[in-house]
């Protein structure tokens, strides 16, 4: 059998190689992390890019079994931030020289929602003299909507596949035809064709998920040739149906370590993509996101959601930064990133190098 040292120095990886890396522990894990860091620094550089995250609405038409803001969770107070509040958060990001913002929300397909996002994208472009990059994360939409938002100025889109194993996907999204694996994959294709830098990702440590599923998630990312990835540990939420399967879960710390391994392995598999240090990592370890930056991630998303709404955007338990205001969050991130030995890419969009090498 090949050693981890041999595998990390390859350019191509078989499914078996990926499985070995994903399950690496102790000294082997250290070797994996060191190599991922080296590859990140030599390929994408030492810089870490900020994306100011604005979770502008928690109203959602879907019912994912794991998600705290699912439609059927009656315990959530639904909110819609006003345009002024959203633009204010984006202005803050621009003034603080963040390269870009991410507008994220629950999923709605109504005309008024589509129009609203469109208008917001245009206004963010205006307020920043076209300087702020805009990522959208507003779920599955029609091809026409994706095109429209792209033409208005959004240039990246995050749509996690959540689980690339169709069977597992339906275990956690059983409500068909509202949820459709085929439609989700098709949506990724539409986004690619519309011209976006394409981001996807999965949850790590889900009940019923195996390490082969995670290997196949990595191969899925490679196959559809993503530009960006955001993936983090699954964290249970009491007011969701998946909570009943918590006895099947690995301990939180194991899910955390597995998520770090996934990030490191993905960095080796796709050296020039952008990889985000997911917020969910910080729900388990207070320094979780910074640890991710040392093992291959190069993007971090400080939360700029207006404080009064944050406690209603609880996708999972122990979500961090509930009472930090945006300025405080930024200062603490800055210190932490320096601790993690990286520099901050101010004023830059920090685009995925992979995207341009595909053009
Ligand atoms: N644990 C971890 N991540 C979650 N998400 C939703 N619910 C949870 C949870 N319970 C993630 C999904 C979604 C992203 C916005 O948040 O992957 O795509
Ligand atoms: Fe809103 Fe999953 S619950 S998209």
- Domains of the chain: which residue ranges? 4-358
pLDDT of residue 328: 60
**The domain made up of 4-358 is a member of CATH 2.40.50.100:** no
Q: Which is more confident, 206 or 353?
A: 206
Instruction: Among 55, 56, 57, 62, name the best residue to mutate to test ligand 2's pocket (greatest count of ligand atoms within 8 A of Cβ).
Output: 62
Residues with CB under 6 A from ligand 1: 66-67, 160, 162, 203, 232, 234-235, 237, 280, 315-316
**From the alpha carbon of 233, which atom of ligand 1 is closest?**
2
- 99 C-alpha to ligand 1 centroid (Å): 24
200 DSSP β-pair partners: 229
Convert the pLDDT of each residue in 313-349 to its tens digit.
989 888 887 766 666 666 567 656 665 677 888 778 8
Convert the pLDDT of each residue in 180-234 to its tens digit.
999 999 999 999 999 999 999 999 999 999 999 999 999 999 999 999 999 999 9
Count CB neighbours of 144 within 10 A. 11
Residues with CB under 6 A from ligand 2: 60, 62-64, 67, 69-70, 106-107, 139
Convert the pLDDT of each residue in 134-192 to its tens digit.
999 999 999 999 999 999 999 999 999 999 999 999 999 999 999 999 999 999 999 99
Contact call for residues 51 and 100 (beta carbons, < 8 A): yes
Burial of 3 (0-12, 13-18, 19+ CB in 10 A): exposed
Nearest residue (by CA) to ligand 2, atom 3, is: 70
**Joined tokens for residue 123:** 């206004």
- 108 C-alpha to ligand 2 centroid (Å): 10
Contact call for residues 187 and 159 (beta carbons, < 8 A): yes
Global confidence as pTM: 0.95
Rg over CA atoms, the chain: 19
Backbone angles phi, psi at 23, to 5 degrees: -100, 10
- 105 C-alpha to ligand 2 centroid (Å): 9
Alpha-carbon torsion (158, 145, 165, 170), positive or negative: positive
Alpha-carbon torsion (289, 308, 334, 300), positive or negative: positive
3-state secondary structure the chain: CCCHHHHHCCCCCCHHHHHHHHCCCHHHHHHHHHHHHHHHHHHCCCEEEEEEEEEEECCCCCCCCCCCCCCCCCCCCCCECCHHHHHHHHHHHHHCCCCEEEEEECCCCCHHHHHHHHHHHHHHHHHCCCCCEEEEECCCCCHHHHHHHHHHCCCEEECCCECCCHHHHHHHCCCCCCCCHHHHHHHHHHHHHHCCEEEECEEECCCCCCHHHHHHHHHHHHHHCCCEEEEEECCCCCCCHHHHHHHHCCCHHHHHHHHHHHHHHHHHHCCCCEEEECHHHHHHCCCHHHHHHHCCCCEECCECCCHHHHCCCCCCCCCCCCCCCHHHHHHHHHHHHHHCCCEECCCCCCCCHHHHHHC
Q: Which of the ligands is closest to the CA of residue 173?
A: 2
pLDDT of residue 97: 87
**From the alpha carbon of 242, which atom of ligand 1 is closest?**
10
Backbone angles phi, psi at 66, to 5 degrees: -100, -15
Nearest residue (by CA) to ligand 1, atom 2, is: 234
Backbone angles phi, psi at 197, to 5 degrees: -75, 125
**From the alpha carbon of 236, which atom of ligand 1 is closest?**
10
Alpha carbon distance 123, 249 (integer Å): 44
Contact call for residues 275 and 296 (beta carbons, < 8 A): yes
Q: Which of the ligands is closest to the CA of residue 202?
A: 1
ipTM of this complex prediction, to 2 decimal places: 0.98
Count CB neighbours of 125 within 10 A. 18
Question: What does the pLDDT average to over 64-86?
Answer: 97
pLDDT level of residue 32 (50, 70, 90 thresholds) = very high
Contact call for residues 69 and 313 (beta carbons, < 8 A): yes
pLDDT level of residue 357 (50, 70, 90 thresholds) = confident
Annotated binding site: 60, 64, 67, 137, 162, 184
């Amino acid at each position: 059998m090949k050693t981890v040292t041999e595998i990390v120095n390859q350019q191509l990886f078989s499914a078996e190689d990926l499985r070995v890396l994903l399950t690496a522990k102790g000294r082997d894990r250290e070797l994996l992390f060191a190599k991922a860091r080296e590859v990140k620094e030599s390929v994408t550089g030492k810089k870490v890019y900020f994306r100011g995250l604005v979770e502008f609405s928690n109203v959602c038409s879907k019912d994912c079994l794991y998600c705290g803001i699912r439609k059927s969770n009656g315990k959530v107070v639904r909110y819609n931030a006003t345009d002024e509040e959203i633009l204010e958060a984006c202005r803050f990001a621009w003034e603080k020289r963040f390269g870009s913002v991410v507008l994220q929300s629950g999923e709605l397909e109504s005309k008024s929602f589509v129009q609203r996002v469109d208008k917001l994208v245009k206004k963010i472009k205006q307020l920043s003299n076209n300087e702020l990059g805009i990522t959208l994360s507003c779920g599955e939409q029609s091809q026409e909507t994706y095109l429209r938002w792209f033409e208005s100025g959004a240039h990246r889109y995050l749509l996690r596949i959540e689980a690339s194993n169709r069977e597992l996907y339906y275990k956690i999204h059983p409500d068909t035809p509202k949820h459709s694996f085929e439609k989700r994959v098709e949506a990724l294709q539409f986004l690619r064709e519309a011209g976006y830098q394409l981001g996807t990702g999965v949850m790590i440590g889900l009940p019923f998920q195996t390490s082969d599923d995670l290997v196949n998630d990595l191969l899925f990312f490679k196959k559809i040739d993503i530009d960006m990835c955001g993936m983090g540990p699954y964290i249970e939420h009491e007011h969701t149906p998946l909570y009943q399967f918590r006895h099947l879960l690995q301990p939180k710390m194991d899910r955390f370590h597995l998520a770090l391994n996934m990030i490191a392995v993905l960095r080796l598999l796709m050296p020039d993509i952008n990889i985000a240090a997911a917020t969910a990592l910080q729900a388990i370890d207070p320094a979780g996101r910074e640890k991710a930056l040392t093992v291959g991630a190069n993007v971090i998303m400080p939360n700029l959601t207006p404080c009064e709404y944050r406690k209603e955007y609880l996708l999972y338990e122990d979500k961090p930064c509930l009472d930090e205001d945006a300025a405080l969050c930024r200062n603490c991130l800055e210190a932490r990133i320096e601790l993690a030995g990286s520099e901050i890419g101010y004023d830059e969009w920090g685009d995925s190098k992979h995207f341009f090498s595909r053009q």
